[in-house]
Amino acid sequence: MPEGTGGAVTVGAAQDAACVDVVTFGELCIAFDERVLRPRQWTSAQSDWATQLSSDVPHGAVLELCAGAGSIGLLAAARTGRPLVAVDADPVAAAYAVRNARRAGLADRVEVRTGRFEDVIGCGERYPLVLADPPWVPRQQTDRYPEDPLSAIDGGHDGLDVARGCLATIGAHLGPGGAAVIQVGSAAQADALADGAARHGLRVVQVRHFPRGALMRLDHLDTRNR
C-alpha cells in the first residue's frame, strides 16, 4: 500500500527509508520500512485488551516496551485517551513511532524514548498500564523469518531472554492497581514465562491464545504491598 501524504511527517532516521510501507492497524495508519518489523494485524488484540483494562486501572500513562513502529501502543493511546511512553532500542523504529504518533494526531501525548528499556525508564516512574511486545523467536528458528529484522525477533536461546527482562521492568514500574499485557509466541512460552513472574512480584491473571501468539495479563502478586 503506498503511503498517503496527508499529515505524514518525516522524522530522523525514518527519512532514510528506501521504501516506506503503510499498514492499517485498527483505525490508525502505521508507516514502517524493511528495517523495522511489519506490524501484525492480530496484535491489535493487545491494544484491545489494554483498552478494556483502562477502565479498571488508575489514571496515568501507558508504558509500551519494545514499541517498534508504535502500532500497539498508539492504538491503545488513541482508544483510551491516555498519554503513552513508548520505548524501543532501535533508532529507526523509534523514529517511525514518532512519525506515526504525529500522523495519528497523538504527538502531544506521546513520548518516544530511544534506548533499551532497562536504561531509559527512571527508577521512580510508575505506570498503571504496561504493554510489552518483546522479540520471542528462539534464536535457532530466526532464519525461518528472513524478511524480519533479526533484532526485532531474536529472543535468545528459548525466545524469552528479552521477555524476562520485560517482566523485571514491569515488576519495577507497574503502579498500584495496575495491569500489564505482554506478548509471547506460544502457550509453551506463556507457561515458561509465568514460572518467573513471582520473582518480580507479579502474577499471571489470564492468558489469551491466538493462532500466531499469546497475550498474558499480569498484575502485582500482592496488591496490599503496593
Ligand X SMILES: C[S@@+](CC[C@H](N)C(=O)[O-])C[C@H]1O[C@@H](n2cnc3c(N)ncnc32)[C@H](O)[C@@H]1O
| Residue 203 Cα distances to 36, 87, 160, angstroms | 31, 23, 17
Nearest residue (CB) to ligand X, 196 versus 221:
196
User: Which value, to the nearest 10 degrees, does the dihedral of the CA atoms of residues 195, 196, 202, 204 take?
Assistant: -30
The set of cell numbers assigned to 35 is: 528495517
Residue 169, Cβ neighbours under 10 Å: how many? 21
Residue 51 engages ligand X in binding (rule: CB under 6 A): no
Angle between helical axes of 44-54 and 71-80 (0-180°, round to 10):
30
Cβ at position 223, least distance to ligand X in Å:
27
Q: Which stretch binds ligand X (CB under 6 A): 13-21, 76-84, 128-136, 193-201?
A: 128-136
Backbone angles phi, psi at 223, to 5 degrees: -65, -20
Question: Do the Cβ atoms of 118 and 92 come closer than 8 Å?
Answer: no
For ligand X, what does the binding mask look like between residues 138 and 177, x meaning CB under 6 A?
-------------xx---------x--x------------
Q: Which of 79, 102, 109, 116 contacts ligand X by CB under 6 A?
A: 116
Cβ at position 178, least distance to ligand X in Å:
20
Q: Which residue is nearest to ligand X (CB)?
A: 68
The set of cell numbers assigned to 173 is: 514500574
Residue 37 engages ligand X in binding (rule: CB under 6 A): yes
Cβ at position 86, least distance to ligand X in Å:
9
Q: Which of 17, 43, 138, 175 contacts ligand X by CB under 6 A?
A: 43
The set of cell numbers assigned to 127 is: 505506570
Question: Do the Cβ atoms of 83 and 111 come closer than 8 Å?
Answer: yes
Residue 133 engages ligand X in binding (rule: CB under 6 A): yes
Kindly determine how many residues on this chain lie close enough to bind ligand X according to the rule CB under 6 A: 24
Residue 127 engages ligand X in binding (rule: CB under 6 A): no
Cβ at position 107, least distance to ligand X in Å:
19
